[in-house]
Structure 1
Amino acid sequence: MGMPAEPHCEAGFQPATQLMHSNSAEAYDFDNELCKGQFLALHRPTHDRRLDQFGKYRYGDHFHGRKRLWELRFRLQCKRPIRQEDLFFGNEMEEFVPMNAAAQSILNFTVNALEMVVGKLSYNSPGDPPEVAGERERPVITLPLWSFDQFIVTEEGATPPELTDPNLHNLGHKRCGQMRKYQDMVNGLELVPGPTFTFCIWGVSRFLDVIQWKLAVPIPFLGPLDLNQFVGKPPMHIVLYTLEDASDFLPVVALNLLQGFRFGSGSQLDCS
């Protein structure tokens, strides 16, 4: 698949396989020791209000009438059992970002608002500053599996929906309007070989404009802010991972969101 001329997001799996881009016509395949599956990233053209309004872009019909800025879709087939309570979704940045008191307050407010949407975060850390000796922790935020807004279970032998299916949003179960019941359903999932599991997340997208690399702060009269001052520059490491014990980190799906939002002229936005 070639790279589109309009602003977009580029990413690559870990370990490296191919360069991917958002709003692709087809999902991207991955295969590792824990599972195999597909990944698809969708976004609305936040850089062009008129284009967004009229919906004349790929997946425009899907975003029409919805508030989400982007959506990530994963389809998984487990190669061995994975404990769902040990499965997390999150992102990690490259390095510690020093912030003044005002910026830290804004970030804290945003994190609190995020928790109002998805529930309590599993883990959140600004990372270790450069003066810390030895191996330093990167800035990281992780969410439990039920932070995904939708899941679909396709039994073994049946055909799972394509991630590009325009009817995907009508399938399976959604978190909206039934958070407690939804959490119970996710907690009851048995992630074992056989079925195909589809997970979609978009609820947290309201806080992050990935095309313009802006933090959409939920504070009245305060417009979108440059995300670099809160999380630093790209790449952003996005990962769906399992912890089989306190120190054993095993990626289920791992990808790097790269600096690659390109205009037709070949110039790049400083974002990820």
Structure 2
Amino acid sequence: MSVFTAARPSATLWIVATPIGNLEDIAPRAVRVLRQAAVIAAEDTRHSARLTRPLGIDTPMLSLHEHNEQARTEQLLARLADGDDVALISDAGTPLISDPGFVLVRAVRRAGFPIQSVPGPCAAIAALSIAGLPSDRFVFEGFLPAKATPRAARLAELAAETRTLVFYESSHRIGKCVADMARVFGAERQITLCRELTKLHEQSVSLSAEAIGEWLLADDNHRRGEFVLVVAGAPVRQETTPSLDVDALLAELLAITGTRPAAKIVARLTGMPRNEAYARALEMASH
């Protein structure tokens, strides 16, 4: 791939978050950036046109998706080198979060052009904020593998993870995904399921993994839309230090050293008062 070097960058790549649901959710700054950019790189230009047209944004669009990102990156680097600002949007939410854009951002950064973020909606963060599960430390897993065997294998790798887990899932796999979680994580593992976030039919329920599976089966509408699953981490295991057999330890030490050094070591390892350890060492040494 060609490398465009920008000694004095005069153009910017803008990473613009766009509404997951209602147009009212778009920030005025995002509208301004999309209007002023020379070109908008969009995952699906037809879908994105439904966002831009009602807002009076007539900026030319260019498709950028997983199948053409490498070639489009070349074109967009050339546009930046010519002094054109470029805006990147995805179908909805924040670009690069389970959406294309990484190849472009990496190349633009290497070429020396500035990159700025216009923050806004992100389904993973929105779901985490309402899940009622610990959010100080979490793991974003995105989409699990589509096929059953690799999906179960990945869940098994995460079964002991103590941080809150965040997944995306599609409507046609949500039932199987939750069933696998109940089997691998345990039926009682707490899950908050968020469906159609910020849209007309938004729902969220917090239940055990087994109960979430039953909820999905109870109504066909429960399995429609786009899903975020926020899963409680595994319980933190309290590691216990095995109790030491003081007499056995003293016997081993007395075989290689004197009573005072042996008592000192035992006191340090077991927390026993040193005078008690010394008295016991003297007693054992005298027999």
TM-score in terms of structure 2 length: 0.20
Larger Rg: 2
TM-score in terms of structure 1 length: 0.21
Higher-strand-fraction structure:
1
Higher relative contact order (CA 8 A, sep 6+): 1
